[in-house]
Structure 1
Amino acid sequence: MAEFRFGVNMAFPGTRAEWVDKARRAEALGYDAFAVPDHLGMPAPFPTLLLAAEATERIRLTTFVLNTPFYNPVLLARDVAALDQFSGGRVELGLGAGYVKDEFDAAGIPFPSAGARIDHVEQTVLTLRKLYSDPDYQPAPARPEGPPVLIAGSGNRLLGMAAQHADVVGLPGAAFTESGLMRAASAEEVGERTEYVRGLLGERRERVELNLLVWAVAAPSERDTLGDRVRQLLPGFTDDQIGAAPAVMMGTPQQIADSVRECRERYGITYFTVVEPDLERFAPVIELLK
């Protein structure tokens, strides 16, 4: 049975010393990936990941995930290769199609259609791999083929593209309501999405990881405050949805570890990424599963 991997998505930089301490703490707690999202108002992914690389020895450095339409693929290839080279080959490149129109507006970047944004993600992957296949390309990534690629999303077209090109397919554990808010994806919805993408993978099915973004982890004593904490991130969650969502895990460390195992057995998910506020809460679960 496939082994687990665990990441933590870090969104609050603080001071340089605080960031270094967080990176070292994540590594000491047994996390496999130290990840940074790509949203305005949050840490810039590449400089913060390079600092994390300098402060650590083992943990992977992950963009989780880039707003790929923000980037020219050729220029992005240079930054990714440099980070991969200087981190000793520890980069995992996470790509997404972008979904927050206000961020595009604030950056003065046109917000294309969903199809055009997905096309841009695909073209980015193809461009990076073409450039890295050139033995004379500089700066050369640590591995000739470049870092592994995680592509995250939930729509049919994006998952179809990810099934062709990704080393890891990331599922957000959430879905959009008609009003545009994000809500928890039910167990049935997560099951349908994982079955859909696994069906598309074909012979690659055993080589491609599935990742789930876990929006909250809570002890039984935090039951009364869990809903409010989750809704700070995703206003569309209702209490009923929170209680039934695979991307929200509540219980003792052993109970949560059992939920993680169930996700592997039921959905084939082996890679789980928690959010920064749960860095310490989830660590006992990692101890039980490794």
Structure 2
Amino acid sequence: MTDYGHQLIFGGFLTPDAGEPEQVVARAKLCEQVGLDLVTFQDHPYQSGFLDTWTLMSYLAAATSRIRLAGNVLNLPLRQPVVLARSVASLDLLSGGRVELGLGAGAFWEAIEANGGRRRTPGQAVDALDEAIRIIREVWATDRRGGVRVDGEHYRVVGAKRGPAPAHPVGIWVGAYKPRLLRLVGRAADGWLPSLAYLPNGPAELADLNALVDEGAAAAGRDPGAVRRLLNISGRFTRTRSGFLDGPPEQWVQELAGLVLEHGISAFILGADDSTAIQLFAQEVAPAVRELVDVERAAPGTGTTSATARREAIRAGGASTLAVTPTPDPGVRRSNHQLWDESTRPVAPPAPAGHVYTPHGQAVGGHLVDVHDHLRQELTQVRDLLDQVRRGVVSAGDARGVLNRMTMRQNDWTLGAYCAAYCAVVTQHHGLEDNSVFPHLRRADPGLGPVLDRLEQEHLVIHDVVEGVDRALVALIREPGDHTGLQQAVDVLTDTLLSHLSYEERNIAEPLARYGFYAGQV
């Protein structure tokens, strides 16, 4: 069993489809919203149907605030090493240290040659990658004197100035499968990034390939554990087990945890453009894998324990106090149009005495607040838009366009603000059918019925209120200059939304932490 002990990373591997650029951006933002650590994109500069990966990453660096970005993997033969080094460092500085360098030696040589690159044999491609990594590291080494000088067979750099240095130690992750390239990874790279789909024998091949990386590291006097092992994965979320990574989320948890503990994989990057799969991976699978791995690392030698024993071990590390703080209602009302009587709101039954909340359960309850905070931020955007419309900076038509792209407008409020944000893409809502959150909570605790009924009623009201803001913008287009109706609509939205979100958090954050999203989850 080989576990190199790295902190786990979970990411997305998205198709940079030039035919639907807004959807690519929306999926990347979704990856950040649901808590993934990393979003990556394949890089085929010769593919006219794809967005240029480096341009896309630069755009997304400005459109996101937390998630890391990487090519998966960048095509070295069409990206000159010195320029690439400076591009990576520049974007890392501009994004606050959120860029990693996935790098490939090259494939599809006819396409590369057709677009101005140089065709190389497999051996030449390895040598060129070796030289490129040396050049990139030299460009970043601003603490050294003199210019960069690498007199290689494929790249010749004669005194290039150093810098800029990146904001953080950028990882150089190499996609590799053949022995010589794998040894190069161990000798010179920071990570190995293969795709599971390219391994004919599946996970069984990882041990032998890992050994070659370790061999290269040892030959260079490096600790093999210094090389992170990443893995591009794909699969299906289904109700029943059908194969490796083809089954329910709990199956994925066990199988991915096994790859960590048995093969040292510490980063899983899901190749999927389906928003529901991305959300399940981020919110169901990733937290549970982290917990299982933490338990196993704390208790060496328990790698063969049953799933039940593992869950019990996780439960033993839980807490009797819910560490989720609902956001209070501000209590300020900007409008006289009260659309419901808050005094008639039902209250959820108290939590059972002595209940222990697992770390995953705490995260589930806390995620409700996180999603609501996203809606609160959108409300702030709406109010800012109103101010800009009033000052003539933004037209009412442009404001409608912004509103139409917001989650609160796109999602189906009738299924619940939490469920909507949890299982929706920007373009349309996809319900989780029988697995949607509210029906699950009804089955888990019938005492929640009155609260859930009330929440669903308020969702209908909020849907109409959001539509009312849009209607007010349409009216302003027809009769410019009178902002009274728009101001009233936004004030009503502020009052109803903030009141509702606080009520929902007070009453279902704890049940979510106790029961999870689905039966048997927590």
Q: Which residue of 2 aligns with 1:142?
A: 167
TM-aligned CA distance change 1:55 to 1:191, over 3 Å? same
The alpha carbon displacement at 1:102 in A equals 3.6
The alpha carbon displacement at 1:194 in A equals 1.7
1:239-258 C-alpha deviation (Å, 9 max, x unpaired): xxxx4xxxx51121111010
Structure 1: 5+ residue stretches without partners: 176-182, 224-242
* Amino acid in structure 1 at the alignment position of 2:214: R
* Contact map agreement 1:10 1:35 (CA 8 A) in 2: yes
Q: In the comparison of the two structures, how many residue pairs are matched?
A: 258
1:180-207 C-alpha deviation (Å, 9 max, x unpaired): xxx6333332221123323433342222
Report which structure shows greater RCO (CA 8 Å, sep ≥6).
1
The alpha carbon displacement at 1:164 in A equals 1.1
TM-aligned CA distance change 1:196 to 1:173, over 3 Å? same
The alpha carbon displacement at 1:172 in A equals 2.2
Alignment of 1:118-157 (within 5 A): 118-135=126-143, 137-143=162-168, 147-157=170-180
User: What SS is found at the alignment partner of 2:117?
Assistant: coil
* Contact map agreement 1:36 1:43 (CA 8 A) in 2: no
* Contact map agreement 2:142 2:164 (CA 8 A) in 1: no
The alpha carbon displacement at 1:68 in A equals 0.9
TM-score for both structures, normalised by structure 2: 0.46
2:57 equivalent to 1:49 = yes
TM-aligned CA distance change 1:73 to 1:263, over 3 Å? same
Higher helix share: 2
Q: Which residue of 1 aligns with 2:288?
A: 288
Structure 2: 5+ residue stretches without partners: 144-160, 291-522
User: What SS is found at the alignment partner of 1:62?
Assistant: strand
The alpha carbon displacement at 1:54 in A equals 1.2
TM-aligned CA distance change 1:212 to 1:96, over 3 Å? same
2:196 equivalent to 1:197 = no
Q: Which residue of 2 aligns with 1:7?
A: 11
- Among candidates 206, 218, 222, match of residue 225 of structure 2: 206
Higher strand share: 1
Alignment of 1:105-120 (within 5 A): 105-120=113-128
1:150-182 C-alpha deviation (Å, 9 max, x unpaired): 01111111111111111111122244xxxxxxx
CA distance in 1, matches of 2:278, 2:200: 21
CA distance in 2, matches of 1:195, 1:288: 28
Q: Which residue of 2 aligns with 1:229?
A: none
1:199-226 C-alpha deviation (Å, 9 max, x unpaired): 4333422222101111333324695xxx
Q: Which residue of 2 aligns with 1:97?
A: 105
Q: Which residue of 2 aligns with 1:269?
A: 265
- The structure whose Rg is larger is 2
The alpha carbon displacement at 1:124 in A equals 1.1
The alpha carbon displacement at 1:281 in A equals 4.2
User: What SS is found at the alignment partner of 1:38?
Assistant: coil
TM-aligned CA distance change 1:269 to 1:47, over 3 Å? same
* Contact map agreement 1:32 1:60 (CA 8 A) in 2: yes
The alpha carbon displacement at 1:84 in A equals 1.4
Alignment of 1:236-251 (within 5 A): 243=243, 249-251=245-247
CA distance in 2, matches of 1:91, 1:217: 29
User: What SS is found at the alignment partner of 1:206?
Assistant: helix
2:63 equivalent to 1:64 = no
Q: CA RMSD in A?
A: 2.3
User: What SS is found at the alignment partner of 2:69?
Assistant: strand
The alpha carbon displacement at 1:112 in A equals 0.5
The alpha carbon displacement at 1:116 in A equals 0.9
* Contact map agreement 1:217 1:281 (CA 8 A) in 2: no
